[in-house]
Structure 1
Amino acid sequence: GGAVLENAHAVDTIIFDKTGTLTTGRAVLGDLIEFVDSSHQIHEQRPSKLGKNKTTLWLAACAEAGSEHPLALAIVNAAKGAWGNDIVCSNEGVVVSNYEIFPGEGVECKIEKVGWGCRWVRVGKQSWACEADKSNFAQDYLPDKFTGTIEMSDLRSKGQVGIYVTAMSDGEVKRTVVGIMGIVDPIRPDAKSCVRALTNLGIEVWMCTGDHNVTAQAVASQVGIDDSTICSNVKPEEKADLVTRLRKRRVYNGKRNRKVAMVGDGINDAVALARADVGIAIGAGTEVAVEAANIVLIRSNLHDVVVALHLSRVVFHRIWWNFFWAMGYNTLALPFAAGVLYPFTDWTLPPAFAGLMMAFSSVSVVTSSLLLRFYTKPHIDDEGNIDDG
């Protein structure tokens, strides 16, 4: 609507989510490291179809089976490739229940199998996945936060998204780090040129992600986002807080606050999309994100972010042109219609001609507006240069 165009043409700051927005969202499983040896009880009477070092992947696949997150699909697809479509191994008596999503943290579920036992499994961030269950213990218990720390740093330095997989039996307090996984999510081919094009339009580009700072910096360096405009390790509500903080900043002349756009695709971005002046959702994203956004990119092409902002500027330039044209035309024509020349020439404008001139004013403005139908979107090259055509 009109309000969206009005806000979009004034956008001077834009925030990108990382996973599924700057990256393709078609992630694949990278490195997988298990920390529990073959003698650990978690391996006893596990599903027979699981191969060596597949316990971590199996637990993660059970937890992520119902998630829409792009990283979850990488885990599920890896499990399908390893032992088939029955990733849970339900045909061997495995039951998965109590599935719950913790936005910005990870997923949790309960896995049960006769002979194997009952365990609560978490897949997600280190601080949350390794968190101790204080409800079963009277005092604070130190979470197992240090297992895999060095290995996780190595994964992140490669640009992989690191995920912890932990398990805890009923009655236990401490969660066991079963393993860690690295997810490789390729950067969209148009991400770098999109960032450069936005910069060329005078727009400040930010990246906000729940991933670790090392991973975030690796991605930002590849797409051309400065380290000073990266927010990492943030929860969904903190993404919305960033939008609020950036909106409160004043522009260089101090006359108004900044206009902020948010580009995202997942449930973690919904609050920030709704709070931004302009929320832009990737068309292939979740329904929650699409519902919260003002603009939806049907083709999921990041260049369309630039096109949307460029179109809004073109529309408002045309609005101002029509306004000044109509004001100037009427300022000059009204005196003639009122008979300003009559005292000097005894000539007056016939009423029919006055009406025709008034109609011409309206028709010219409408015609000018209809010329927007011939708008051609700009071409953006690999260096981010914008050719208006």
Structure 2
Amino acid sequence: SAWLSLKNRFANMDVLVALGITAAYGYSLLALFGLLGDSATAFFETSAMLILFIRFGKWLEARAKGQASAALKKLLELQADSATLLDGGVERVIPADQVKVGDLLLVRPGDKIPADCVVVEGEAAVDESMITGESLPVEKTLDSKVIGATINRNGRLVIRATAVGEGSVLSNIVRLVEEAQGDKPPIQRLADRISNVFVPLVILLATLTFCGWLLGSDQGFLFAFQMGISVVVIACPCALGLATPTAIMVGSSVGLEHGVLFKKATALEQISKTKVLLLDKTGTLTSGEFKVDRITVVGHFNEGDLLRYAATLESGSAHPLAKGIVAEAEKRQLERLSVSAQQEIGGRGVRGLVGGKEVACGSRDFLIEQGITAAVVDRSPDGDGPGSQIFVAIDGKLQGVIALTDAIRDNVAAVVMRLQHMGILPVMVTGDSRHVAASVARAIGLEHFEAEVLPGQKLDIVKKYQQQGQLVGMVGDGINDAPALAQADIGIAIGSGTDVARETGDLVLISGNLIDIVRSIELGRKTLGKIRQNLFWAFFYNALGIPLAAGLFYPAFGLSLKPEFAGLAMAFSSVSVVTNSLLLRREKRHFLEK
């Protein structure tokens, strides 16, 4: 490692150790053959003990790192060994790694799901705790997605494989965590820059130590030489190099065990410093599944006809409100009319020809743009009622208002309160009217919100808070909020458990549980705290060890440090840093499991 480092004109930490071992061994060879005079003493044991102690330290370090990556090992061990293939109605057991995309598989109660699949027949409760961290089984029915390595607790399922091998959710999670553990946050880059300067500085200190003892005392060449080697060996900044990576490794593994996937090492540091957290309302604070609450008719169309026209027009839209209107029409078994010239205006509304009539559905402002007088819209009897309103105009006249609601997620109020206690400003972002936004904000204890925000404006909201000097986090669904998540200092995607590889953002809450936002912030702060502790002890060790190895305490107290024991001290400093990082696993119950 030292040789490769020097070839690349870079002095890494191994250069110091290699230099100390080589110097001691070279001196001993010269002394053995009498080339340094008859009084010269060989000390081969120093080189041997240095290698022994340093390898012992590396072994302890490797064991500690192995514990740190235990979560990944557990995940990989979860994969099913076999699968029951349905081939022309005949059941055949095959190795799980032979499953191909499109294969039909049978899963009985107690079996592991062998690959990522979609349910084509049957119902069952599936345990996804190993992926999402949620202990309660998830009900699966026709067209539900199931994740490889999860367990069928009851019921019989016939499933079709959709992703296998490297393309599976499990493999993607492992890959993303490994990438995060290999990533370098800003605090690690600072440590690297210090290490680059540290190596030549130590060689200079060792040279000065040697010259000082040789020329300024009567201890002799051998004593001065050993002191110089001790300085080189004890000053090796291995602990400095381990301070950040081990804490990141443990932090990301602990997060994974609790359904929090850090896709970048920088996310652990950034989330710990977040001051403003923007929360998308639909799909994040609420379920995102809108239901028609009431229909108010103001024209000559009856309620059923009004809904039929609106649902027909909205049938081509992917907007959550549109889906709610279409679902209500299907529930009432209303037949769709013919539709043409359908045009959706980004997040505001839809217009087109339905059954030969010009129909427009959307927000208040959208209908005013379509020529409906503002006063007419504002006089509508349900214009400012609870829920999200869709105004419906037919042939240029307002005919009614469809109000939709989506349920607020469990524990949202508790999450908001916890965020506020942590010194973070939570801000709700929604496309709803200010009246609706204020109603939701009151229900969950929020003081700040941004209302009537179009999808493309979320990016501007993030920039606005960043321009105020705030470190901004954005929580969204990972797909509709992609630009805002990418712009935020820390993008947090609410995952579904099956789309973690496609999610935008630096961090994915796999289970979709909002309390994981608080947990991830706590984990980020604890991990950053461990990094700072590790860096402090690494520097403190060198600040104490180098003077001792240089013999500064020898004249007054007779204290000195032989090179081999300097090597032992260096090895144990590295182990202590790794052990301190591992304590994060024991401390997690105080902040993740409460």
TM-score, normalised to structure 2, is 0.51
Q: Is the 8 A contact 1:266 1:286 kept in 2?
A: no
Structure 2 match to 1:9: 272
**Alignment coverage as a number of residue pairs:** 331
Structure 1 match to 2:412: 191
Structure 2 match to 1:223: 444
Tell me the percent identity: 38
Of the three residues 367, 381, 384, the one matched with 1:156 is 384
Of the three residues 527, 531, 536, the one matched with 1:315 is 527
Distance 1:356 1:325 in 2: 16
Structure 2 match to 1:276: 488
Distance 1:202 1:294 in 2: 21
Q: Tell me if 1:145 matches 2:374.
A: yes
Q: Is the 8 A contact 1:20 1:70 kept in 2?
A: no
Could you say what secondary structure the match of 1:233 adopts?
coil
Structure 2 match to 1:139: none
Q: Tell me if 1:208 matches 2:429.
A: yes
Deviations 1:129-173 (A, max 9, x none): 3423xxxxxxxxx53333342345x4634x2111112244xxxxx
Q: Tell me if 1:68 matches 2:318.
A: yes
Deviation at 1:231, TM superposition (A): 1.6
Q: Tell me if 1:300 matches 2:512.
A: yes
Of the three residues 286, 289, 293, the one matched with 1:23 is 286
Greater C-alpha radius of gyration: 2
User: Which structure has more helix as a fraction of its residues?
Assistant: 2
Structure 2 match to 1:43: none
Distance 1:319 1:291 in 2: 28
TM-score, normalised to structure 1, is 0.77
Structure 2 match to 1:123: 361
Q: Is the 8 A contact 2:428 2:450 kept in 1?
A: yes
Q: Tell me if 1:368 matches 2:580.
A: yes
- Specify the code of the residue in structure 2 equivalent to 1:182: A
- Specify the code of the residue in structure 2 equivalent to 1:283: G
Distance 1:278 1:301 in 2: 18
Distance 1:315 1:260 in 2: 19
Structure 2 match to 1:324: 536
Distance 1:378 1:103 in 2: 45
Query: Which 5+ residue runs of structure 2 have no aligned equivalent?
Result: 1-263
Deviations 1:103-152 (A, max 9, x none): 331234443xxxx42x44332212113423xxxxxxxxx53333342345
Distance 2:506 2:314 in 1: 29
Q: Tell me if 1:248 matches 2:498.
A: no
- Specify the code of the residue in structure 1 equivalent to 2:374: K
Distance 2:294 2:267 in 1: 43
Could you say what secondary structure the match of 2:369 adopts?
coil
Q: 1:347 and 1:13, CA in 2 relative to 1: closer, same or farther beyond 3 A?
A: closer
Query: Which 5+ residue runs of structure 1 have no aligned equivalent?
Result: 39-51, 133-141, 169-174, 250-256, 380-386
Could you say what secondary structure the match of 1:194 adopts?
helix
Distance 1:146 1:188 in 2: 35
- Specify the code of the residue in structure 1 equivalent to 2:433: H
Q: 1:104 and 1:339, CA in 2 relative to 1: closer, same or farther beyond 3 A?
A: same
Please provide the CA RMSD for this pair.
2.8
Distance 2:498 2:344 in 1: 14
Q: 1:198 and 1:258, CA in 2 relative to 1: closer, same or farther beyond 3 A?
A: same
- Specify the code of the residue in structure 2 equivalent to 1:210: G
Distance 1:72 1:225 in 2: 27
Q: 1:244 and 1:286, CA in 2 relative to 1: closer, same or farther beyond 3 A?
A: farther
Moved over 4 A (4+): 97-100, 284-290
